[in-house]
Structure 1
Amino acid sequence: MASAISFPDASAAEWEARRQLAACYRIFDHMGWSELIYNHITLRVPGEDGAFLINPFGLLYSEVTASNLVKIDIDGHVLDGSAYPVNRAGFTQHSVFHRLVPDAHCVIHTHTTAGMAVSSTHEGLQPTNFYAAAFAGRIAYHDFEGITLRPEEGERLIANLGDRRIMMLRNHGTLVMADSLPKAFLMHWMLQRACEIQVATGAAGTPLDVPAEVIAVHQRDIGGIQLPSGPGVPDFQAMVRLIDRIDPGWKS
């Protein structure tokens, strides 16, 4: 296993981003959202155009630390001297959004059981529960084309995304992006809950759709329950405290 390296020239903003992202990987592992050594959470490096952080290919999410995250440019070149490889599939997909979506500061792609199950249905996510109602009319869909290794698929991903920031990759999984990591984390958490409940509802009986007029009120009012620190910030901070009690090694 390659060793972590130090970055004496790294800015304070980069180190903060590294720690935030490393904590996020540990949280995802704790929540059961990891997929062996696969899938990715990527984060732009503040103040550096075209540079973002990605997990080292070959490590479990529970092994990710601030110093072993790999900094690459938008074309996949390693910028920090890391000895770790980068998963080509992850770079190909995530770089498209970091390059072409201005507010895609953080991009999350997962293969959770519930997310893949819902993405593999004709109906997709349905407005049948509290969390799903928040996403009604706000999810993009992209048909499965196989593993994301071909750059030309990026054009179709962007076209299908449009002005939305949540995507169901049909037969594949979920994709969430946001202008901050805490916001992306919260969106993923809510989407995961929506998918889990939809799968459970289907097993329990006949799903009951939330009426359109109620969805409109729900989406209007849901922002009113946020703390003033910003979308997802208190939620993410709470999970960082939890993960820090389990293993603070992610900070190194």
Structure 2
Amino acid sequence: MSTTTITATATTIPVPLTSETGKDDAPTQTQLAVATGGYIFPGIPKITDPYKKRQWQLEHMAGAFRVFARKGFTEGTSGHISVRDPIDPATFWINPMGKHFGMLKASDMVHINEQGQVIGGNRVAVNSAGFVIHSAIHRARPDINAACHMHTINGKAWSAFGRPIDTINQDSCNFYGTQAVYNDFGGVVIDEEEGQRIVDALGEKGKVIFLQNHGLLTTGSTVDEAAYLLTCLERTCEVQLKVEAAAAGGLQKRIISEEAAEFTARTNADPETLYTEFQPDFEYEIWLSHGELCKGE
């Protein structure tokens, strides 16, 4: 039986400096790395009007909630997403308490200040634990514009171990160097000190954090990035639990090398790529919504 070895050769493809919509500048290295064919895959739109950017963020925020609903991330009134306001960055938007994720629209979101008072948008109650956690994050990390916290099945299961996930597959490399663990579960987060301890555990560079005996929290420069990291981390926890079960039965678990994990994270886990990764799910929700959602650009 004969075998054939195929050697791939690199081909330089001319890439236009602007997209057909005219919205993009010169392509980033990430855009060039993840797509081919002579056209740039559109990344994060450049919206200079802060009022239009606010609406764009709220549309994507509503879309993220619907994605979470479709994936089964609902758990009573638990779970929240926050997005920093582009007009008044000391304030943020969060979901109303007690409304199903699958029903949320941009107009349902609540504008809240650092004191926990509703100042605009949908004037209804919000989850107090959500306010404590998200307000602490937005105060401490100006680089974070969005944060997602959900009580997902596999996230809750893996959080019981109080440890980060291993780099055992390509997707898990998205979290290389950005994982944190909060090991001090003190009950429902309703006081500022607990929120500050979570922020301290997240640190200056953390993007995702495992809240021990609680669940997952992810962050990003866009709500799309934070939402994709949440869906990816939940699935990664599911895979890790299965791998641990198989390893307990005698199979050997193999960890990706530091060098390969770092390279993969550098290629796949930048804000532009993570934003792009979320778009298929978001656009599917737009299609399902029959006009209730839009891209907001």
TM-score normalized with structure 2 length:
0.74
> How far apart are residue 137 of structure 1 and its match?
4.3
Q: Map 1:1-252 to 2 at 5 A.
A: 11-80=51-120, 82-142=122-182, 143-163=184-204, 164-205=206-247, 206=251, 208-211=253-256, 214-224=257-267, 230-251=272-293
Once residues 194 and 31 of structure 1 are traced to their aligned partners in structure 2, the CA distance between those partners, rounded to angstroms, is: 14
SS at match of 2:106: coil
What is the rounded CA distance, in whole Å, between the counterparts of 1:91 and 1:66 in structure 2?
19
- Identity, in percent, stands at 28
What is the Cα deviation at residue 246 of structure 1? 1.6
Per the alignment, in what secondary structure is the counterpart of residue 89 of structure 2? coil
Matched residue pairs, number? 240
What's the CA shift string for 1:38-73, capped at 9, x where partnerless?
A: 210111111212121111101010121111111111
Deviations 1:69-99, CA, capped at 9 Å, x for gaps: 1111122111116342111111011110011
Read off the aligned partner of 2:264 and give its amino acid letter: D
CA distance in structure 2 between the aligned counterparts of 1:124 and 1:236, rounded to whole angstroms: 23
Gaps of 5+ in 2: 1-49
Q: Is contact 2:170–2:264 with CA below 8 Å preserved after alignment?
A: no
Asked whether the equivalents of residues 268 and 274 of structure 2 are also in contact (C-alpha less than 8 Å), the reply is no
Q: Say if 1:18 and 1:66, in contact at 8 Å, map to a contact too.
A: yes
Q: How has the CA–CA distance of structure 1 residues 81 and 103 changed in structure 2, closer, same or farther, with 3 Å as cutoff? A: closer
Greater Cα shift, 95-104 or 133-142: 133-142
Q: What is the identity, as a one-letter code, of the residue corresponding to 1:160?
A: A
Q: Distance in 2 between matches of 1:195 and 1:153?
A: 25
1:155 is displaced (CA, Å) by 2.6
Relative to structure 1, is the Cα distance of residues 222 and 83 closer, same or farther in structure 2, using a 3 angstrom cutoff? closer
Q: CA deviation at 1:170?
A: 0.3
Amino acid at match of 1:221: T
Q: Cα gap change, 1:251/1:221 in structure 2, threshold over 3 Å: closer, same or farther?
A: closer
SS at 1:98 equivalent: helix
Closer, same or farther: CA 225–106 of 1 in aligned 2, 3 Å: closer
Question: Residues of 1 paired with 2:66 and 2:293: CA distance?
Answer: 10
Cα deviation for residue 239 of structure 1 reads 1.2
1:236 Cα deviation from its structure 2 partner: 2.0
Cα distance 1:119–1:207, how it changes in 2: closer, same or farther (>3 A)? Answer: farther
- What's the C-alpha RMSD, in Å, of the aligned pairs? 2.3
Query: For residues 246 and 81 of structure 1, what CA distance do their matches in structure 2 show?
Result: 24
The 8 Å contact of residues 15 and 66 in structure 1, kept in 2 or not, is answered as yes
Q: Distance in 1 between matches of 2:141 and 2:114?
A: 13
The 10-residue stretch of structure 1 (142-151 or 43-52) with the greater mean CA deviation from structure 2: 43-52
Alignment check: 8 A CA contact 1:168 1:175 kept: yes
Give the superposition deviation at 1:226: 7.5
For 1:226 and 1:158, the matched residues in 2 are separated by 21
TM-score, length of structure 1 as denominator length: 0.86
Unmatched segments (≥5 aa) in structure 1: 1-9
Kindly indicate whether the alpha-carbon contact (under 8 Å) linking 1:128 and 1:207 is maintained by their aligned counterparts in 2.
Answer: no
